[in-house]
Amino acid sequence: MPRMEPMKPKRNQSAAFRNSAESQNRSNLRPEWLSGMIEWFRKQPNPSEYDIFLQQLTPFWDRAIEPTLIQEFGQGSTLYCIFYRDRDPSQVNLEIWDPHYVEQKPSQVFKLEGFPPKAIQNLPNYREQAEILILQN
């Protein structure tokens, strides 16, 4: 009677499982606020007009805005956001707040500078004119 060979460990499958778990875990660490914002801009009537704005916003978002939002509101928050131009033609105000805690947590206002006027010409001039964007995690 032939002797059965022991089963070899399935190393490829275990590595794939570990990599899958790590990638899923990593995605939970980073909120999806920016991707939601980019999708919103892509749905605007002339999305190509916002390309320069988004290219310049992304590094600032990663470096300064997102860490502040996580610290102030937590990762699992659904936030509201508006963009409007400042008096300075190259500056944009970004205001973000948690609609569930309007009274307890103040909004975070970021003054973003250095945009070419053409990149932000379609943003509203006044806060009251701004469309509210919902950023879901």
Domain layout of the chain by residue ranges: 31-135
Question: pLDDT class for 137, splitting at 50, 70, 90?
Answer: confident
Distance CA 111, CA 92 (A): 6
Question: Does the structure show a pLDDT above 90 at 108?
Answer: yes
Average pLDDT over residues 65-91: 89
Q: Tens digits of per-residue pLDDT, 7-20?
A: 555 555 555 544 55
Sort strands 133-135 and 108-112 into parallel, antiparallel or unpaired: unpaired
How many whole angstroms from its chain centre is CA 99? 17
- Model confidence at 126: pLDDT above 60: yes
Give the pLDDT score at 128: 93
Question: Positive or negative CA dihedral for 30, 33, 36, 37?
Answer: negative
Q: Over 70: is that where the pLDDT of 1 sits?
A: no
Sheet (strand 79-85) strand order: 108-112, 92-97, 79-85, 133-135
Residue 95 is predicted with a pLDDT of 95
CA gap 130, 121 in Å, rounded: 13
pLDDT score recorded for residue 25? 43
Write down the residue that tokens 């914002």 correspond to: 37
